[in-house]
Amino acid sequence: MKFKKLTGGRALFITPDTIWIAKGMTFYGISYDGKRCTPKYRVGNNIERLIGTFRISRQALRVGIHHLLPLANGNLLVTAKRKTYILDKEGNIINIFQGYQGNKPGHQGVCLAPNGSIFFGEYLLNTDRSKPVNLYRSNDNGESFQIIKTFPPADIRHIHFIKWDPYEKCLWLGTGDYGENNHENRLYRSMDNGDNWELIGSGSQDWRAIGVCFTPTHLVWGTDAGSCPDTVHLVRMSRETHMLEILEDFEGPCHGCASFADGRVFFSTGVEGGENEKDNKSRMKLLNGTKTVNLLELSKDFWPLIVQYGVMRFPLGTDACHRTVFTTMGLYNHGETVMIEER
């Protein structure tokens, strides 16, 4: 399997015929051959748009669009720094959700359920654990958001992800990062649209995931534990028993995972300067049975880690698609590039 450069920018969401791209504070859809197929939309003020024009400034200052979700009524949700915009089909901003903690959710920290509910988890530094952490839900296409679960101070650091499971027809939520006996690393399940949450597992770095992938029999993830000795693993959990099985070690922390409609499951590792990292390379991996195969390796670029980690990240929406798309960031000759599987 080979990949090629498609365009500059970040791939944020894909459908079977459209890849939604963001460059700074501008976003639009392109076809799989790279041709723009939607109008260009813009959010933010003039200063944010100026900063977002240049890759290094937007990465260093965390300015730009980080998530995009097409909503059930045809509107669009996009997250930027400390603001989440709801736009109608013509690109008019009809609501701005703000006041939550942190600059933005985790990469898989926003989710659209099949019934149209939107979920949004707070991802903040919270280094002293002094702040509560909230999970929000909107049942009106982003016109309003309500807190549906609060983790009290000193309970967790932040929410990593929330994701809809097409097999069990439920939601999964993950938290991190450390805590006594690693109690902050948890996996929860909700069978009732987020009203109630059942704790499925916790208590080790193997429960520390930035996202999960789904198969008929298991949940699979890579651990985000590059700064913890000997804990960067590929893990799967049995749906029947909820027992964990370590499948293999990774060379660095897992920064991306995606399952596709044809059953393929991919993972990516990143470079963030942790003691567990074997080298300065980010890798794209394909799950083959219970092991992975390395498909692509790229070295970290010369810019400091504080500007941008070296990562490969998948867009949301992959579960309904068949062709692999991802974004490289902070990597040599791939500073912010949308990559696509060659056909």
- Quickly list DSSP for 11-48: EEEE-SS-EEEEETTEEEEE-TTS-B-S--EE-S-HHH
- Prediction pTM value: 0.96
- Measured distance CA(58)–CA(335) in Å, rounded: 12
Count of residues making up the chain: 343
Name the token pair of 68: 């995009």
Query: How does pLDDT run across 105-150, given as a tens digit for each residue?
Result: 999 999 999 999 999 999 999 999 999 999 999 999 999 999 999 9
Task: Please state the rounded mean pLDDT for residues 277-291.
Answer: 96
Secondary structure letter of residue 149 according to DSSP: E
Task: Output the pLDDT for position 275.
Answer: 86
The number of angstroms, rounded, from the C-alpha of 245 to the middle of its chain's C-alpha atoms is 23
Per-residue pLDDT for 226 more than 70?
A: no
Q: Are 11 and 316 in contact (CB under 8 A)?
A: no
Task: Please state the rounded mean pLDDT for residues 301-313.
Answer: 97
The number of angstroms, rounded, from the C-alpha of 154 to the middle of its chain's C-alpha atoms is 24
**Residue 58 burial class via C-beta count within 10 angstroms: exposed 0-12, middle 13-18, buried 19 and up:** buried
Q: Position 123: which residue type?
A: Y
- H or E, element range at 266: strand 265-269
Residue 27 lies in a domain: no
Residue 103 lies in a domain: yes
| CATH code of the domain covering residue 210 | 2.130.10.10
Domain count, the chain: 1
Query: How does pLDDT run across 9-50, given as a tens digit for each residue?
Result: 999 999 999 999 999 999 999 999 999 999 999 999 999 999
Residue 131 lies in a domain: yes
From the list 260, 269, 271, the residue with the least C-alpha distance to 341 is 260
- Measured distance CA(194)–CA(189) in Å, rounded: 9
Residue 90 lies in a domain: no
Q: What is the greatest pairwise CA distance in the chain?
A: 53
Task: Please state the rounded mean pLDDT for residues 177-205.
Answer: 95
Supply the DSSP string of 56-73, one letter for each residue: HHHHHTT-S--EEEE-TT
Task: Output the pLDDT for position 228.
Answer: 75
Residue 210 lies in a domain: yes
Domain extent, residue 158, equals 99-341
